[in-house]
Amino acid sequence: MNLTTLSQEQERLATKLIIPPDGTGYQPQADDLIFTLDVQYLVNKAHIVLDVQRWSGEQVAIYVASSKVTIPYVPQFFCFREGPPLLALIQKVQRQFNRRPDLILVDGHGLAHPRRFGVACWVGLKTNIPTIGCAKRSLLAYTKVKRAISQRGDTVPIHDQADLVGTALTTQSKVKPVFVSPGHLVSHKTATQMVLGLASRYRLPEPIRRADQHARNYAKGQLLPNATDLGQLIGHG
């Protein structure tokens, strides 16, 4: 695993991203399907969950699958470890159930990455579908203005070399912010508004919470109600 080569690859791929100006690009409609993805790891195995819901709030389905992982965890290079199994599950759901997402939400970073290429960017480029990253922690330093992020909807911009790359967003009053950044084909404003809209009760957006709960249980060998087990992903088992 040559980190120099991988760094260069991230920088090369980052030049292909399309981040529309605010007010342009993807805009959600009520019937749009949102695929939300999360992973839990156990030794060298990934337990992946794909939650499907409409922007209107209707939950449609939850799919789970497993995959062997051959690339070690290295901070800032997560897209090469997590991206391929996420993509494999997206493609399997598309083929087997004829579901195509209008937007993909990833539990991880998009543009708000030291080389501006987190896992949401990798997934967005590979699928050419609008993609958003929503992470629990920031990879980049940002000015923590306590008063500015204490109430639901408060935001603090995250910059890298004077460029806006993401947003620290308070989804519920007096809780820690989440870190939102576009992955591909979504503007900063739309990404932030959608994550806030999906976080109706808790810090994390509802589909990420569901995916996280299912992934944790699936990693323990437990299949929660309403989940469809797709088994080992071909080419990843």
Give domain status of residue 8, yes or no.
no
Q: How far apart are the first and last CA of the chain?
A: 20
The pLDDT value recorded for residue 72 is: 75
Provide the residue-wise pLDDT of the chain in tens; the chain has 237 residues. 688 887 888 889 899 999 999 999 999 999 999 999 999 998 889 999 999 999 999 999 999 999 988 877 777 877 878 899 999 999 999 999 999 999 999 999 999 999 999 999 999 999 999 999 999 999 888 776 666 668 999 999 999 988 999 999 999 998 999 999 999 999 999 999 999 999 999 999 999 999 999 999 999 999 998 999 999 986 544
The pLDDT value recorded for residue 147 is: 61
Give domain status of residue 81, yes or no.
yes
Give domain status of residue 31, yes or no.
yes
pTM: 0.94
Give domain status of residue 54, yes or no.
yes
How are strands ordered across the β-sheet holding 131-135?
155-160, 163-169, 178-184, 131-135, 103-106, 33-42, 45-54, 59-68, 227-232
Give domain status of residue 107, yes or no.
yes
Output the 3-class SS for the chain: CCHHHHHHHHHHHHCCCCCCCCCCCCCCCCCCEEEEEEEEEECCEEEEEEEEEECCCCEEEEEEEEEECCCCCCCCCHHHHHHHHHHHHHHHHHHHHCCCCCEEEECCCCCCCCCCCCHHHHHHHHHCCCEEEEECCCCCCCCCCHHHHCCCCCEEEEEECCEEEEEEECCCCCCCCEEEEEEECCCHHHHHHHHHHHCCCCCCCHHHHHHHHHHHHHHCCCCCCCEEEEEECCCCC
Residue 55: CATH number of its domain:
3.30.2170.10
Give domain status of residue 5, yes or no.
no
Give domain status of residue 74, yes or no.
yes
Question: Among 7, 5, 1, which Cα is nearest to 116's?
Answer: 7
Give domain status of residue 80, yes or no.
yes
Written as six digits, the tokens of 92 are 């399997």
CA distances for 198 relative to 59, 126, 161, 183, angstroms: 12, 24, 30, 17
The pLDDT value recorded for residue 159 is: 93
Residues linked to residue 40 through DSSP beta bridges, in sequence order: 47
Written as six digits, the tokens of 37 are 């993805």
State which residues form the domain around 115: 26-135+179-222
Structural domain count of the chain: 1
Residues linked to residue 222 through DSSP beta bridges, in sequence order: none
